[in-house]
Amino acid sequence: MQKAVDYKAIITASVLGLALVSYAASSSTVPSGKDGVITVAGAISDSQCAFNVHSDSRSHEWMEKKGVYGATDDKSCTLRCVKEMGGKYVLVTKKDVYRLDDQVAPERFAGLKVKVTGTLDAKKQTVHVLNIEEDKESKEK
């Protein structure tokens, strides 16, 4: 006696499996590169402005418009917020803000557009920084 094969169940399970795999692959904010190393382009800012502690636009505009001492441009505002207001250096992209585990190297790039290479801890939205370099391509555009 032959057992009946439930093709509906097999097809349904296959479709669900593919859907789950597709979702898992697409849910990463930043694609992984070789050995989990990624490169993300954005601007070095401070957590105070980027997380809207004293800004409502993820930028330095509020500080600059209010004439806050030492906040006359992106660089000076970033440096002031980190050194005097308890902020941390972060990488701001069009959609996301990434914390940076290295708080020394970003200082020299404060307020600039950069490319950060490192590994991503997606749960903490933190990049373990391997390298930071100025994004000269974005300057030309």
Whole-number pLDDT of residue 23: 47
Whole-number pLDDT of residue 37: 95
Average pLDDT, integer, range 101-107: 97
Whole-number pLDDT of residue 128: 97
Query: Model confidence over 25-58: pLDDT tens digits?
Result: 444 444 455 678 999 999 999 998 888 766 656 5
Compute φ and ψ for 68, nearest 5 degrees: -60, 130
Does the global pTM surpass 0.85?
no
Whole-number pLDDT of residue 63: 66
Give bridge partners of residue 45 from the DSSP assignment.
90
Distance CA 90, CA 44 (A): 6
* Mean pLDDT, the chain, integer: 80
- Which domains occur in the chain, in start order? 30-140 (2.40.50)
Which of the 8 DSSP states describes residue 104?
Answer: S
